[in-house]
Amino acid sequence: MTTTESGSGLETLTRPDAERARELVAAGIERGALVTVVGRCTVTYDGRAASSLGAGERHVMLKPDGAALVHTDEGQQPVNWQPPDCDHEATVADGRLVVESHRETPEEHLTVRFESVVHAAAYPLTDEEDLSLAGTEADLRERILDEPALVEAGFEPLATERSTPAGAVDVFGEDADGRTVVVELKRRRVGPDAVGQLGRYVDALERELHAETDVRGILVAPSVTDRARRLLAERGLEFVAVEPTRE
């Protein structure tokens, strides 16, 4: 059974087959959602040491910052985990869901193989407490409008909430060479979903203006995940680290 709550972004599956579970997990990872999977699984880890867990019922959580946690029904600590900035992947092997979390420095690899999946969910979680600690996107926009050089020297904002076929651009402007610049603002650390959003704005404006227009896309946020940074490079997009509020 699949459940999607309109407007919230929550997607859930109850007792899905391996392929349905893989689709949900992969899509959740791609859009920067918090992904959880509950089922009977084995766990192996290779890195600074090596470990393995035999089959058991466990809760696996994949966070959009790259962290991965494997929990049992006891204790507050995970029985295995990966730190932030790891890359997550979901595949199907021998008819079973396989969830992997990997980072390169240091080399570490966590593999969870599910014999069966009882429940899977993906939700773009937002911690409201973070609003008061880190500021809002409105605060970040005001910082950029007050100090355009935070984006880069010579940047000139021309409009906010500029409409495009793909949605409203946070800040629309020009660089020192007169090229069109699209700035997407995020108040917190972001993953691949924000890169995809920025790319859609750039593509929409290139189609809307004319084929010869060189549209630059700049993602402004406190930080990005490693996967997001690689996707930015692949798409020819840029990243600038700015906090919503002045320190």
- 220 sits in which H/E element: strand 215-221
Same fold, 2-123 and 129-241: no
Give the pLDDT confidence score for residue 70 in this predicted structure. Answer: 97
- DSSP H helical segments within 6-136, as ranges? 18-30, 129-134
Q: What architecture (CATH level 2) is domain 129-241?
A: 3-Layer(aba) Sandwich (3.40)
**Class level of CATH domain 2-123:** mainly beta
Q: Is the pTM of this model over 0.85?
A: no
- 17 sits in which H/E element: none
Give the pLDDT confidence score for residue 188 in this predicted structure. Answer: 83
Which amino acid, 203? D
Per-residue pLDDT of the chain (247 residues; tens, 9 = 90+): 556 554 467 899 999 999 999 999 999 998 889 999 999 999 999 987 888 999 999 999 999 888 999 999 988 889 999 988 889 999 999 999 999 999 887 889 999 999 999 999 999 876 544 434 456 788 899 999 999 999 999 999 999 999 888 889 999 999 999 999 999 999 888 888 889 899 999 999 988 887 667 899 999 999 888 888 899 999 999 999 998 876 5
Give the pLDDT confidence score for residue 170 in this predicted structure. Answer: 94
Report domain extents, the chain.
2-123, 129-241
Nearest to 189 by CA among 65, 29, 33, 28: 65
Secondary structure letter of residue 129 according to DSSP: H
